[in-house]
Structure 1
Amino acid sequence: MKKFFKIVLGLLMVAVFAWVVFYLYNQSKKSPVVFQTESPKVTDIVKKTVATGSVVPRQEIEIKPQESGIITEIYVEPGDKLKKGDLIAKIQIIPEMVQVNNAESQLEKAQIRFKNAELEFNRKKELYKSGVIAESVYLEEQMAYDNAKVDLQAADNNLQLIKEGVTKKMGAHTNTIIKATIEGMVLDVPVEVGNSVIKSNTFNDGTTVAILADMGEMIFEGKVDETEVGKIKEGMDLVLSIGAIENEKFDAKLEYISPKGVEENGAIQFEIKADVNLKEGQFIRAGYSANADIVLDKRDRVLAINEKLLQFSNDTAFIEVEVADQIFEKKFIETGLSDGIQIEVKQGLTKDDKIKVPQS
Structure 2
Amino acid sequence: MKKILIFGSIAVALILVLVWFGIKNSKSPIQYETEKPFKTNIVRKTVATGKVIPLEEAEIKPKVSGIIEKIYVEEGAKVKVGDLIATIRVVPNIQALNSAQGNVKNAQLRYNNTKILYDRSKKLFEKGVISRQEFETTELNFNSAKQDLNNAKNNLQIIKKGSAAGVGRTANTYVTAEISGTILEIPVRKGNQVIESNTFNAGTTIATIADMTKMIFEGKVDEAEVGKIKKGTVLEVSLGAIENKKYKAKLNFIAPKGTEENGAVQFKIKGDITLDDEYFVRAGYSANADIVLEKKDSVLSIKEALLQFDKKTEKPFVEVKTGDQEFEKRDVELGISDGINVEIISGITPDDEIKIWNKTSKKDDKKRDRRN
- TM-score interval, smaller chain: 0.7 to 0.9
Change (3 A) 1:286 1:171: closer
CA distance in 2, matches of 1:16, 1:186: 99
Please name the residue that 1:189 is paired with. 186
One-letter amino acid of the structure 2 residue matched with residue 184 of structure 1:
G
Q: Verify the 8 A CA contact 2:34 2:354 in the aligned structure 1.
A: yes
Matched, 1:359 2:357: yes
1:80: how far off? 1.1
What secondary structure sits across from 1:172 in the alignment? helix
Matched, 1:45 2:42: yes
Please name the residue that 1:203 is paired with. 200
One-letter amino acid of the structure 1 residue matched with residue 337 of structure 2:
S
Please name the residue that 1:247 is paired with. 244
One-letter amino acid of the structure 1 residue matched with residue 339 of structure 2:
G
Q: Kindly, what percent of the aligned residue pairs are identical?
A: 49
CA distance in 2, matches of 1:91, 1:75: 12
Q: Which moved more, 1:106-115 or 1:247-256?
A: 247-256
1:168-219 CA-partner distances (Å, limit 9, x unpaired):
3323321111111011111111111111111112332211111111222222
CA distance in 1, matches of 2:184, 2:21: 79
1:103: how far off? 0.8
What secondary structure sits across from 1:250 in the alignment? strand
1:348: how far off? 6.1
One-letter amino acid of the structure 1 residue matched with residue 341 of structure 2:
Q
Q: Verify the 8 A CA contact 2:67 2:91 in the aligned structure 1.
A: yes
Matched, 1:100 2:97: yes
Specify which of 155, 160, 164 is matched with residue 157 of structure 2: 160
Q: Which moved more, 1:340-349 or 1:183-192?
A: 340-349
1:265-307 CA-partner distances (Å, limit 9, x unpaired):
2333232222222235543211111222221111133332212
Specify which of 20, 23, 37 is matched with residue 25 of structure 1: 20
Change (3 A) 1:268 1:19: farther
Change (3 A) 1:222 1:126: same
Please name the residue that 1:6 is paired with. none
Please name the residue that 2:364 is paired with. none
Q: Which moved more, 1:276-285 or 1:336-345?
A: 276-285
CA distance in 2, matches of 1:196, 1:71: 6
What secondary structure sits across from 2:169 in the alignment? coil
Please name the residue that 2:361 is paired with. none
Q: Which moved more, 1:331-340 or 1:28-37?
A: 28-37
Matched, 1:58 2:55: yes
1:311: how far off? 4.7
Q: Verify the 8 A CA contact 1:250 1:278 in the aligned structure 2.
A: yes
1:308: how far off? 2.6
Count residues with an aligned counterpart: 347
One-letter amino acid of the structure 1 residue matched with residue 299 of structure 2:
V
CA distance in 1, matches of 2:259, 2:37: 44
Please name the residue that 2:334 is paired with. 335
Q: Verify the 8 A CA contact 1:308 1:357 in the aligned structure 2.
A: no
What secondary structure sits across from 1:169 in the alignment? coil
Q: Verify the 8 A CA contact 2:80 2:180 in the aligned structure 1.
A: yes
CA distance in 1, matches of 2:162, 2:87: 11
* 5+ long unaligned stretches in structure 2: 1-6, 359-372
1:223-256 CA-partner distances (Å, limit 9, x unpaired):
2233333333333332222221111112223222
CA RMSD of aligned residues (A): 2.9
Matched, 1:69 2:66: yes
1:161: how far off? 1.1
Q: TM-score, normalised by structure 1?
A: 0.85
Change (3 A) 1:19 1:221: farther
1:86: how far off? 1.1
Q: Verify the 8 A CA contact 1:87 1:178 in the aligned structure 2.
A: yes
What secondary structure sits across from 1:126 in the alignment? helix
Q: Verify the 8 A CA contact 2:333 2:347 in the aligned structure 1.
A: yes
One-letter amino acid of the structure 1 residue matched with residue 130 of structure 2:
I
One-letter amino acid of the structure 1 residue matched with residue 80 of structure 2:
K
What secondary structure sits across from 1:216 in the alignment? coil
1:106: how far off? 0.7
Specify which of 91, 113, 132 is matched with residue 116 of structure 1: 113
* 5+ long unaligned stretches in structure 1: 1-10
Change (3 A) 1:172 1:213: closer
Please name the residue that 1:82 is paired with. 79
Change (3 A) 1:119 1:320: same
Q: Verify the 8 A CA contact 1:319 1:355 in the aligned structure 2.
A: no
Change (3 A) 1:19 1:274: farther
CA distance in 2, matches of 1:55, 1:19: 79
1:153: how far off? 0.9
Change (3 A) 1:140 1:224: same
